[in-house]
Chain A
């Protein structure tokens, strides 16, 4: 019998620590599928962040490096400059990429480092238990914004793809989500393209995945996806923000 569906080889057959309904599982799978499709597991090195995906190094079958909080793009830069023919990706959350690691994100982008960045934006600090993230929405209640994020004191959420798309070093920036099968397929194509760009030496590619956190949002998985559609997508519109790679490959 033909096998029509199986675990991607680049994803190890181990239980993950993610909460039920968390979309990290889908995004891990999409990254692994891209690695399998492009046949690059043997020369790929992933960089895990600090945050919910901190233990991604135990889940991906390629070589993995665990970085300090926010430093993944700098670590990936060191790897890529040492291994220019290997494929280097980072997998980072919103606190990691858009708060403590903003400098590393912006400067690896503006240098045009030929790396792939997978950015999971769920508008909250998950691992530490639900504090305000740089991408938490105005009015969003978190452990550290118990009365809702007040933009007068806590400022506004950061739109990463929009910001990075102004930088000449960025080859490709797209925002996707994984709330429906159709969106998952779009996300898969975007992630694969972000890896293909690196193989083709096109430069810095980032895919922002608007994601859900049922546990810290205090919602069921389904409610969380609906909250994502109702609240996050209006503030973080999906789409290609920059693409200088000359079309799909």
Chain B
């Protein structure tokens, strides 16, 4: 199944019945799949007039208490950033998919990972985070969509699947969980769905004109973030235990890096890989632990080097951290990564 379609089907199986989108390459199959499926299952597929409208429709649907989502690619996510900030500021859960392409500006339509900073640092104005999940296989896309909805509900915050054009467009066999008779959802007593004369009116809002009050809501939110950082960080470790050179890569790039690591091992170089599955919260502990035994880190991305900041923060000067990457839609080749590993290994001797 194609990655983009797998994302859409997984969302439906997670109980999402409200999709608001806008066409943009290379994620359009998500919307097309939703347009085909939603009317058959009593759901809503709505093609909005803009990315801005689409994310605000998600804001409205999330306010009503339903599982809602939108999907886009890099330039479209920039347009959605206003709405994402409001959604975070109003403590609403939702799912946003970014099938990344090259930027800045119109950039290109080939795979890229140049929105890492945007996803983890500045998805919109103000002090806030979104949960960021980074699948590296189509199966993992399916699994993480379900998890993203659950965690978004649990923590009342937006969640993002940060994929890329390669994962969106590639095909792999995939197995879906049985469509659950009941989707795991949490009670949403805060939802604005009509008070039915049973409670005071609910207000969904991000405006606090009194600085003390605004600061308090943000501090409360950041306390929640501390819990999330302590419990929700996820990573895959591959041959890290005895590795002298630890590569760090996520998403489609991790697939390339893994094959370079395997070749390096065949050549007798003790290489390993840490693959962050959550980009926020970042799996800091995995990196810190590896920094105790490994001699060198190498971060590989389809960007000029964005996640490498988080690797360096976690390593905290303890070991050298190198970067290798391509950007603009150019995909790093396993051979190039291997050369970089060999150069580090040679220098280490």
Contact = CB atoms under 8 A, between A and B. Distances in A.
Contacts of B197: 41-42
B18 A78 contact: yes
Contacts of A68: 56, 59, 82-83, 86
A44 B201 CA distance: 10
B221 to A, nearest CB: 17
A88 to B, nearest CB: 8
Nearest to B44: A81
A117 interface: no
Nearest to B196: A42
Given A45-B194, A65-B192, A68-B83, A81 B57 contact: yes
A104 B56 contact: yes
A4 to B, nearest CB: 25
Nearest to B191: A63
A77 B59 CA distance: 10
A63 B53 contact: no
B192 A107 contact: no
Contacts of B86: 67-68
A82 B207 contact: no
Contact of A42 (B58, B68, B90, B194): B194
Contacts of B195: 41-42, 62-63
Nearest to A54: B207
A42 to B, nearest CB: 5
Given A57-B205, A107-B48, A71 B56 contact: yes
B204 interface: yes
A177 to B, nearest CB: 29
Interface string A115-132: 000000000000000000
Contacts of A42: 194-197
B152 to A, nearest CB: 16
* Chain B binding surface, main DSSP class: mixed
A204 to B, nearest CB: 14
B201 A78 contact: no
Given A75-B56, A78-B64, A83-B64, A57 B203 contact: yes
A103 interface: yes
Contact of B60 (A44, A61, A75): A75
B149 to A, nearest CB: 15
Given A42-B195, A68-B86, A79 B48 contact: no
Interface string B190-224: 00111111000111111100000000000000000
B186 to A, nearest CB: 17
Nearest to B53: A74
B46 interface: yes
A43 B202 CA distance: 12
B49 A78 contact: no
Interface in A68-107: 68, 71, 74-83, 86, 103-104, 106-107
Interface in A19-68: 41-45, 47, 54-55, 57-58, 60-68
A67 B206 CA distance: 9
A74 B56 contact: yes
B66 interface: yes
A63 B194 contact: yes
A44 B194 CA distance: 5
B63 A79 contact: yes
Contact of B56 (A41, A64, A67): A67
Nearest to A83: B64
B29 to A, nearest CB: 22
B193 to A, nearest CB: 6
Interface of A: 41-45, 47, 54-55, 57-58, 60-68, 71, 74-83, 86, 103-104, 106-107
The 5 closest A-B pairs by CB, nearest first: A78-B60, A74-B56, A78-B57, A82-B64, A63-B192
Interface of B: 18, 20, 44, 46, 48-50, 52-54, 56-66, 68, 82-83, 86, 90, 192-197, 201-207
5 contacts: A78-B63, A82-B64, A83-B194, A104-B49, A107-B49
Given A42-B196, A64-B205, A103-B49, 9 more contacts: A47-B60, A63-B195, A64-B202, A74-B53, A74-B57, A75-B59, A78-B60, A82-B61, A82-B66
